[in-house]
Structure 1
Amino acid sequence: MNGFHALLVAQFLSAFVDNMILFVAQAILVRDAFPGWYLQLVQATFLFAYILLSPWAGRIADRFAKRLVLIGGNVVKCGGVGLLLAGADPAIGYAVVGVGAVLYSPAKYGILPFLANSDQQLLQANAQVEGTTILAILAGAVAGGWLADHSIILALTVCILFYVGSATLCLGIPSDPYNSDIMFRNAIPDFLRDLSRVLQVPRGRFSLLGTGGFWMASAVLRLAVFSWLPVAFGIRDNTTIGLMITLSGVGLVVGAALTPRLIPVGHTIRVIGCGALMGSCLLLLPWSPGLTLALLIQTICGSFGGMYVIPLNAILQRVGEQTVGTGKIVAIQNFAENTLMLAGVLAFLAASMTGVPVVWSMSANGLVLLLIVARLYLQQRSCQTSV
């Protein structure tokens, strides 16, 4: 197994568990009679960990060999699962998993330019990593829903075993060049300076806003499904909800596979078009008159989402390689994406607590993404440059 294949399998196992845990947390909340809106709060603590630690995460990824950072991230995630096993508040346990995730992510994406020899190879590597991640989302959602319905203890045990397996596989990833001169004491001002530097690059602004909008919409949709399916179709068990969530992932896998063929490097008008189509699907989804049509819209939405976000990731990684470093750029990307995701989740939480119908919240989610895509189109026209 070469280094890139080791990374793919390790990423699959880690992402598999990342997506299982939300269903296990939901099962714990139901078992312990937490209020219905508490799942949104649990998700918010995970996102807050990303935002809080972003100034240090990129430095860690560039300061040490990235395979060691990947191992460390998996170990921290195991600690969060251990807290859930010990009976800690799900918000606390999930927040610790978030700490592991914020360490893991810059190293996962930051090592791709080291493993790829050209822009086209980097795009293909991104597509394979995204495709593997989405397959893990599919399997993790199904397995998490089923295991959570049958045994919370068994589900959490599987989580720990898979994180350990991911950490072990990371040993097979080659050690990339790292900068031992990087310091941590000025992390916050340096992070803000790096963020400003990236935002001064048109391609940096374009891709940060684009990926942030995608993940904000995806995070809100993922949580909304738990509330919408019972209201719209009477579906309440975690197993069925998990199967429903996988449909967006099926579409994303298709989109990831089609991206290198349909969207060559630099064709941003096609990227913007895919984002607009994704937003339109999100806008229409909650008004589906029947389950079959809803399933079809979810799948199509995922396909357009894959073709929208993967080219943006490749653009941003090249911007990072040319400006602040591959690890730092992913930390900046995580900061931007999770700030928008947290804003979306908190808005959905507020809407839920004040009695706003979930169909209106879901439609508003699609409308916000359409506004972001419109802003990207205007930016691309005003710059008159290919990003």
Structure 2
Amino acid sequence: MRVAPLKALYFTQFLSAFADNMIIFIVLAIMRQENYPGFYIGLVQSAFLLAYVVCAPFVGPFADRNAKSYVLLIGNIVKAAGILLLMTGISPVFSYLVVGIGAVTYSPAKYGILPELTDTKDALLRANGKIEGYTIFAILAGSVAGGMLAEYSLFWSMAVCIGLYLISMAGTLAIPRMPGNSSLRYSRALSDFISDVKLFFSNPKCRFSLVGTCSFWMSSTVLRFAFIAWIPLMFGITSLDKISMLVAVTGVGIIIGSLATPYLIPAHKYYRSYLYGLMMALIVIASIFVSNLYLIIAVLMAIGFMGGAFIVPMNTVLQDEGHRISGTGKAVAVQNFVNNTMMLLGMGIYTGATRAEVNAPVSIATVGIVLLGFVLYLHFLKKKLPSSEEPLTESTYSS
């Protein structure tokens, strides 16, 4: 395992994700300042997710064709450009769309480089846990910093974002530039992508992972905005910095869950992760009955912990199988497409529900019930997986 490049990757990813998660609270501050309607935040987030869905067929080949450290650099440049647009007064929807294009470019390389920097499946699992932990820590810190800085100064909050992207770009220089597969052709990107989607869904392990990750990210994305709407109503907290701190508690739980995953779920028993998804769904449903501020902090942390233990094994098995059958960049691109299509659907429904004045507790409970349905489907899929003790490197395809 290449320790120094991994540390550089964690550093680069942390700063980039930190800046990514400042932006949403900056947009919330802009909305408040310019009196945008409440549902507008759903449109902003949907623009970001749309970039993932539309660009998915092309960013996988781009990540696999080029050195992944170079792809990380390009992704950060595009994200910084999106912040510059926001600073010049361009619509938050369009600006965040550009940030999304940078993020979807960045993502396959972030995960796709892990198998290149690790030597064993357990090392890959540990690296996944760490990068997920650093990412969620960045979400936590970036959300809090975004809320605090946006309250202080919109200009300086955006300037800090750009500065973080620049430092993250510098960090990519410490990651080796391993050559990609130059034989890949972009002209076949769309047809190849459709074939890749079919390939991954025909693989029992990949299908299990894709269903798990899309259910997690759809639920997490909608819950984030639902809790942002619910906290002021339930607890009378209206300042962005305090709301961001409360929402970030979930991130603390995910960090702990992500880092604990290698001790809770061995790599060859990844399928057990669905049990943590089950507990996450039940706690989400129960959360709407909590009216004590200190208790809701514990509940949010528990939701995050279960989510961390749920998602890390799913990512690991997909990267391992994807690296073997078609390239990790393509695997992560398919995962991004599936995840963000479901997230876009979830945010579309949530935005419509907000416009129709459906209250936040109903939205939260609905998310929990939907997640529960996905987890029960995972239980069904588990029965079709290869032998429970089968190593990750052995795979069986369904017809």
TM-score of the superposition, structure 1-length normalised?
0.98
Partner SS, residue 266 of structure 1? helix
Distance 2:279 2:66 in 1: 40
Distance 2:29 2:181 in 1: 43
Amino acid at match of 2:90: A
Distance 2:60 2:73 in 1: 15
Amino acid at match of 1:21: I
Distance 2:329 2:381 in 1: 26
| Displacement after TM superposition at 1:235 (Å) | 1.1
| Displacement after TM superposition at 1:276 (Å) | 0.2
Q: Identity percentage over the alignment?
A: 42
Q: 1:237 — aligned with what?
A: 239
Q: How does 1:350-361 map to 2 (within 5 A)?
A: 350-361=352-363
| Displacement after TM superposition at 1:138 (Å) | 1.1
Distance 1:132 1:52 in 2: 27
Q: How does 1:60-99 map to 2 (within 5 A)?
A: 60-99=62-101
Residues 111, 176 of structure 1: 8 Å contact kept: no
Q: 2:20 — aligned with what?
A: 18
Residues 228, 247 of structure 2: 8 Å contact kept: no
After superposition, what is the alpha-carbon deviation per residue over 1:281-301, rounded to whole angstroms, capped at 9, x for unaligned? 111112212112111110011
Partner SS, residue 186 of structure 2? coil
Amino acid at match of 1:57: V
Distance 1:261 1:334 in 2: 27
Residues 288, 294 of structure 1: 8 Å contact kept: yes
Distance 1:334 1:21 in 2: 20
After superposition, what is the alpha-carbon deviation per residue over 1:142-166, rounded to whole angstroms, capped at 9, x for unaligned? 1000001110000000000000000
Partner SS, residue 194 of structure 2? helix
Partner SS, residue 187 of structure 2? coil
Please say which of residues 345-354 and 282-291 is displaced more in the overlay.
Answer: 282-291
Partner SS, residue 2 of structure 1? helix
Residues 288, 361 of structure 2: 8 Å contact kept: yes
Q: 2:266 — aligned with what?
A: 264
Q: Does 1:308 find its partner at 2:317?
A: no
Match of 1:158 among 157, 160, 179: 160
Q: 2:136 — aligned with what?
A: 134
TM-score of the superposition, structure 2-length normalised?
0.95
Quote the RMSD (CA, aligned, Å). 1.1
| Displacement after TM superposition at 1:355 (Å) | 1.5
Q: 1:51 — aligned with what?
A: 53
After superposition, what is the alpha-carbon deviation per residue over 1:154-210, rounded to whole angstroms, capped at 9, x for unaligned? 000000000000011001101123111111112111100011011110001000010
Partner SS, residue 36 of structure 2? coil
Distance 2:115 2:350 in 1: 36
Partner SS, residue 385 of structure 1? coil
| Displacement after TM superposition at 1:382 (Å) | 3.7
Distance 1:382 1:75 in 2: 43
| Displacement after TM superposition at 1:4 (Å) | 0.8
Amino acid at match of 1:32: E
Residues 253, 306 of structure 1: 8 Å contact kept: yes
Distance 1:198 1:128 in 2: 25
Q: Does 1:207 find its partner at 2:234?
A: no
Match of 2:111 among 103, 109, 112: 109
Distance 2:385 2:24 in 1: 41
After superposition, what is the alpha-carbon deviation per residue over 1:218-257, rounded to whole angstroms, capped at 9, x for unaligned? 0001111221111111111110011001110110111012
Match of 2:220 among 196, 218, 230: 218
Q: How many residues align?
A: 387
Please say which of residues 22-31 and 263-272 is displaced more in the overlay.
Answer: 263-272
Residues 58, 328 of structure 1: 8 Å contact kept: yes
Q: 1:2 to 1:226 in 2, by over 3 A?
A: same
Q: 2:337 — aligned with what?
A: 335
Q: 2:252 — aligned with what?
A: 250
Partner SS, residue 267 of structure 1? helix
Residues 39, 355 of structure 2: 8 Å contact kept: yes
Distance 2:91 2:258 in 1: 36
Distance 1:297 1:282 in 2: 8
Match of 1:125 among 124, 127, 146: 127
Amino acid at match of 1:339: T
Distance 2:344 2:128 in 1: 24
| Displacement after TM superposition at 1:269 (Å) | 4.9
Distance 1:165 1:289 in 2: 42
